[in-house]
């Protein structure tokens, strides 16, 4: 039987589509487009988190290889749903450090690993209350990634009561966070749509999300900022899914941003800029789709020099395209929409 929240979301989506179809050809303002797109993305995140929670219960009840494979698939699917709406860095996501609850990263001091190991060594399995009180390093997708993929977790380690209990508690906490996000974004909608300044707030947030890809997800682990390359600075380095998450971020940004931004730019006579932006967005996503899921081939010491050079060239090309997308947003789109941005250290020129 479907969860009541899933039925609510299905009804909400139908109502949104009906309203769009009966109100005229395209009556919505850019902020209405953005609010509806993000609402759908938050709903998809909640659905994926609920599936992840059920998968954890199924695995712990019957921890066989098939259930374990499902667990990994559901973890990545939910993680990608979070990445898809990560461009929203304001509003309800800022409450109670929810962004950090979902993903504690960057994690330069390996707090996730330390927190998980400490909890696994406890006398009793973790409860939801334990996870809620433990802090953000134990609450999100990276903590689950450790339990699934860290070298310290032997092949059958997740079957233990402590590990399985922790996986279930973290998964349940993710459901609590994502449901609250979804509900609060809906409640935030009227204020968002009616407040002119949120146009620039959303654009600024979108630009920052591309800067995160450029600097933290690519430049830092690849060693493009003066420090040596280091795979441990990559997002999702344990699972080797760093590029898969970057693809999800770019696709989510396109799905969430472009319809409203197109309406805004065309209303101001910038149809040519829309075409340029769409072309760059499509090209960077297409480039991402040609890359392996992880950064390791460009970084690992054991890879041959030839393999490393080829892999690094591929990632460097991707980095250049992400940088071009960031410049297009931060300069051309910002200028066309009147967005004034302060000095940004990631803008190297």
Please report whether residue 181 resides in a domain: yes
Do 297 and 222 lie in one domain? The reply is yes
Domain count along the chain: 2
pLDDT tens string for the chain (349 positions)? 444 455 445 444 444 443 333 333 343 899 999 999 999 999 999 999 999 999 999 999 999 999 999 999 999 999 999 999 999 999 999 999 999 999 999 999 999 999 999 999 999 999 999 999 999 999 999 999 999 999 999 888 999 999 999 999 999 999 999 999 999 999 999 999 999 999 999 999 999 999 999 999 999 999 998 899 999 999 999 999 999 999 999 999 999 999 999 999 999 999 999 999 999 999 999 999 999 998 877 887 555 677 778 888 999 999 999 999 999 999 999 999 999 875 443 333 3
Do 53 and 180 lie in one domain? The reply is yes
Nearest to 107 by CA among 74, 132, 143, 72: 143
Residue 150 CA to its chain's centroid (Å): 21
Do 34 and 159 lie in one domain? The reply is yes
Residue 349: exposure state from Cβ atoms within 10 A (0-12, 13-18, ≥19): exposed
Do 117 and 204 lie in one domain? The reply is no
Do 135 and 228 lie in one domain? The reply is no
Q: What is the CATH number of the domain that holds 215?
A: 1.20.1420.20
Do 151 and 247 lie in one domain? The reply is no
Contact 71, 193 (CB under 8 A): no
Do 181 and 203 lie in one domain? The reply is no
Please report whether residue 349 resides in a domain: no
d(CA 338, CA 308): 43
Q: How many CB atoms lie within 10 A of CB 64?
A: 10
Do 128 and 32 lie in one domain? The reply is yes
Residue 192 has which token pair? 């968002």
d(CA 59, CA 160): 11
Domain assignment of residue 82, given as a range: 28-195
Do 124 and 214 lie in one domain? The reply is no
Q: Of 132, 166, 195, which residue constitutes the final position of a domain?
A: 195
Contact 199, 264 (CB under 8 A): yes
d(CA 256, CA 30): 11
Peptide bond into 106 cis (omega under 30): yes
Phi, psi of 122 (to 5 degrees): -70, 165
């Amino acid at each position: 039987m479907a969860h009541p929240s899933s039925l609510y979301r299905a009804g909400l989506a139908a109502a949104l589509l009906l309203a769009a179809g009966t109100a005229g050809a395209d009556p919505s303002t850019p902020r209405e487009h953005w609010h509806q797109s993000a609402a759908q993305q938050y709903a998809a995140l909640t659905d994926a988190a609920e599936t992840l929670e059920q998968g954890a219960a199924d695995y712990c009840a019957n921890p066989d290889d098939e259930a374990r494979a499902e667990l990994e698939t559901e973890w990545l699917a939910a993680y990608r749903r979070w990445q898809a709406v990560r461009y929203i860095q304001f509003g309800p996501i800022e409450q109670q450090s929810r962004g950090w609850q979902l993903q504690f990263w960057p994690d330069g001091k390996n707090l996730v690993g330390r927190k998980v190991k400490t909890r696994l060594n406890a006398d009793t399995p973790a409860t939801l209350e334990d996870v809620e009180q433990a802090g953000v390093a134990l609450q999100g997708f990276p903590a689950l990634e450790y339990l699934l993929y860290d070298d310290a977790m032997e092949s059958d380690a997740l079957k233990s009561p402590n590990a399985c209990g922790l996986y279930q508690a973290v998964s349940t906490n993710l459901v609590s966070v994502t449901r609250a996000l979804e509900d609060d974004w809906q409640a935030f909608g009227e204020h968002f749509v009616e407040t002119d300044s949120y146009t620039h707030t959303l654009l600024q947030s979108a630009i920052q999300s591309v800067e995160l890809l450029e600097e933290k997800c690519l430049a830092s682990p690849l060693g493009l900022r003066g420090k040596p390359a280091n795979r441990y600075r990559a997002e999702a380095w344990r699972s080797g899914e760093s590029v898969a998450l970057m693809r999800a971020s770019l696709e989510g940004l396109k799905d969430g941003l472009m319809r409203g931004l197109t309406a805004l730019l065309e209303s101001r006579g910038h149809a040519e800029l829309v075409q340029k932006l769409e072309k760059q967005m499509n090209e960077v996503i297409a480039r991402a789709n040609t890359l392996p899921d992880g950064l390791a081939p460009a970084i690992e010491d054991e890879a041959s020099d030839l393999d490393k050079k080829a892999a690094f060239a591929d990632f460097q090309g991707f980095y250049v395209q992400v940088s071009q997308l960031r410049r297009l947003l931060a300069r051309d789109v910002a200028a066309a929409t009147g967005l004034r941005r302060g000095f940004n250290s990631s803008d190297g020129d």
